[in-house]
Chains A and B, each alone.
Chain A
Amino acid sequence: MLHYFANPTRFQRLSRRIEPWLLVAMILCFAFGLYFALFSSPVDYQQGHTVRIMYIHVPAAWMALFCYTAMAVAAAVAMIWKHALADVAAKATAPIGAVFTFLALVTGSLWGKPMWGTWWVWDARLTSVLVLFFLYLGYMALRDAFDEPGRGARASAILVLVGFVNVPIIKFSVDWWNTLHQPSSVLRMDGPTIHPDMLTPLFLMAAAFQLYYFWLVLVRIRRELMANRTRALRHRQAAA
């Protein structure tokens, strides 16, 4: 299975077939999710309409963690099995994850101003997500810092795995430290503490973000493979 899709041509054929479906599913999820989130979900009794920031903020934060985890898994697979596509997948995921992290930080800041009265506090959750953002930047910088691309790929794979310690810290930061950011209210042992009327749009938006990621990462991997191919052809042309 792992090696079946290591073949770029096979992967591209499959990915080209899947992409339109992902795109359609994503548009549907965004359409319904945004409608529910912006119009057809209840107003919070304390927060008023600002609670609607949640429908962007929470999925973006989930995706920030998901992308980093995906990158770490891809980097490990690339390192252990020398799987060429896994390495391309890690590279393709990094900027997407960085943007999701940035989005989570910005929406959190916009939400923090009316609710907490401040754009930014140095609490454990915010700080650890900021560190995650720096880790994404470090990964991309290290990857591009070498003249030989293979060396950059291998070095940055190690960096991703080292930085993975931050992911559980982010997830449990709100439980370990008693800070301003609220503890998790969806993924918890005794079931979600959010009303279903708010949970439905939240999950729709989360699904939309997830589909967006899968769609974009497939497009980016395909683009990267084609770029590699073009480069190889150029080299051959120059050699001939």
Chain B
Amino acid sequence: MNAVSVLFRREMRLAMRQSADSVMVIAFFVIAVVLFPFGVGPEPNMLARIGPGVIWVAALLAAMLSMDRMFMGDYEDGSLELLVLSPVALEFVVLVKVLAHWLTTGLPLIVTAPLLFVMMNVPTEIWPVLLMTLLLGTPVLSLLGSVGAALVLGARRGGVLLSLLVLPLLIPVLIFAVGSGDAVLYGTGAKANLMLLGGVLLGSLALTPWAAAQALREAVA
């Protein structure tokens, strides 16, 4: 457990020293969403209608930006080999990395989201639900992203390839997340969608560390 906390502190320290990465993700998130009122016109009702979806898609793409960095630095400077050889189970290493990635990407996205809700004229009654979907959904982005990031280590054009691998698998998250907001507006309640999203989170929390760890072993083999 001590080794895990040491690793976590290392990850956070590295992330803090390169805080520009997190800032860039947020900047991309905001700019991508802000483009839509220019693209589709600033009509408030339409923005309210498409707002949740646009914000979620932008969050998805913003999270993709930092995903390929998850193991890249360790892979390039060789510390990944030491992590693989360390007595800590590689699955825990992956979970620590995922947690660090979520704290530096997912959490800032959630904090920024209300600002964009205002700008996209999202009805206030669905704010809590949308924040809840972001809270449940962004960890899934980091978890599935860890598998993708481990798979493309050493690949040509890894970043683009990563989107091709991970984005299709993230479609269910998008569907259930945006569906929760719509369900509240239609008066059916978001419980079913939120539970499905929670199920996706628990399922990926249980399964992706194994896949990512195996992919990391292959990467350094």
**Interface residue range, chain A:** 20 to 34
The reply to whether A135 and B168 form a contact with Cβ atoms under 8 Å apart is yes
Closest Cβ of chain A to B147, distance in Å, is 6
Closest Cβ of chain A to B202, distance in Å, is 13
The answer, yes or no, to whether B155 is at the interface (CB within 8 Å) is yes
The reply to whether A141 and B218 form a contact with Cβ atoms under 8 Å apart is no
Closest Cβ of chain A to B158, distance in Å, is 7
Cross-interface CB contact of B165 among A127, A151, A159, cutoff 8 Å: A159
The reply to whether A151 and B164 form a contact with Cβ atoms under 8 Å apart is no
The reply to whether A142 and B161 form a contact with Cβ atoms under 8 Å apart is yes
The CA-CA distance from A34 to B167 in the complex, in Å, is: 39
- Given known contacts A127-B171, A142-B152, A163-B169, is B215 in contact with A158 (CB within 8 Å)? yes
The reply to whether B155 and A138 form a contact with Cβ atoms under 8 Å apart is no
Q: For chain A residues 198-220, which have a beta carbon within 8 Å of chain B?
A: none
Interface of B is mostly: helix
The CA-CA distance from A166 to B165 in the complex, in Å, is: 13
The reply to whether A141 and B211 form a contact with Cβ atoms under 8 Å apart is no
Which residues of chain B come closer than 8 Å to A131, judged between CB atoms?
A: 168-169, 171
The CA-CA distance from A141 to B168 in the complex, in Å, is: 14
Q: For chain A residues 133-162, which have a beta carbon within 8 Å of chain B?
A: 134-135, 137-138, 141-142, 145-147, 151-152, 154-156, 158-159, 161-162
Residue of A nearest to B167 (CB): A134
Which residues of chain B come closer than 8 Å to A127, judged between CB atoms?
A: 171, 175
Cross-interface CB contact of B161 among A141, A147, A165, cutoff 8 Å: A141
The CA-CA distance from A131 to B164 in the complex, in Å, is: 11
Cross-interface CB contact of A146 among B154, B203, B215, cutoff 8 Å: B154
The reply to whether B156 and A162 form a contact with Cβ atoms under 8 Å apart is no
**Residues 199-221 of chain B: 1 if any A CB is under 8 Å from the residue's CB, otherwise 0?**
00001000010010011001101
The reply to whether A158 and B169 form a contact with Cβ atoms under 8 Å apart is no
Cross-interface CB contact of A138 among B165, B218, B221, cutoff 8 Å: B165
- Given known contacts A146-B156, A159-B151, is B165 in contact with A154 (CB within 8 Å)? no
Cross-interface CB contact of B164 among A138, A161, A162, A166, cutoff 8 Å: A138
The CA-CA distance from A147 to B152 in the complex, in Å, is: 12
- Given known contacts A154-B218, A155-B215, is B155 in contact with A146 (CB within 8 Å)? yes
Closest Cβ of chain A to B220, distance in Å, is 10
Residue of A nearest to B155 (CB): A145
The reply to whether B164 and A158 form a contact with Cβ atoms under 8 Å apart is no
Residue of B nearest to A146 (CB): B155
Which residues of chain A come closer than 8 Å to B152, judged between CB atoms?
A: 142, 145, 155
The reply to whether B164 and A137 form a contact with Cβ atoms under 8 Å apart is yes
Cross-interface CB contact of A155 among B156, B168, B203, B218, cutoff 8 Å: B218
- Given known contacts A127-B171, A131-B168, is B156 in contact with A145 (CB within 8 Å)? yes
Closest Cβ of chain A to B205, distance in Å, is 14
The answer, yes or no, to whether B17 is at the interface (CB within 8 Å) is no
Residue of B nearest to A154 (CB): B218
Residue of B nearest to A145 (CB): B155
Given A138-B164, A152-B155, A159-B151, 20 further pairs, Cβ under 8 A:
A127-B171, A135-B168, A138-B161, A142-B155, A145-B152, A145-B156, A145-B158, A146-B154, A146-B155, A146-B156, A147-B156, A151-B154, A155-B218, A158-B211, A159-B147, A159-B165, A161-B211, A162-B147, A162-B169, A163-B168
Q: B residues touching A (Cβ–Cβ < 8 Å)?
A: 147, 151-152, 154-158, 161, 164-165, 167-169, 171-172, 175, 203, 208, 211, 214-215, 218-219, 221
Interchain residue pairs with CB less than 8 A apart (24)? A127-B171, A127-B175, A134-B164, A135-B168, A135-B169, A137-B164, A138-B165, A141-B161, A142-B151, A145-B157, A146-B155, A151-B154, A151-B219, A152-B155, A155-B151, A155-B219, A158-B147, A158-B151, A158-B214, A158-B218, A162-B147, A162-B208, A165-B203, A169-B172
Q: A residues touching B (Cβ–Cβ < 8 Å)?
A: 127, 131, 134-135, 137-138, 141-142, 145-147, 151-152, 154-156, 158-159, 161-163, 165-166, 169
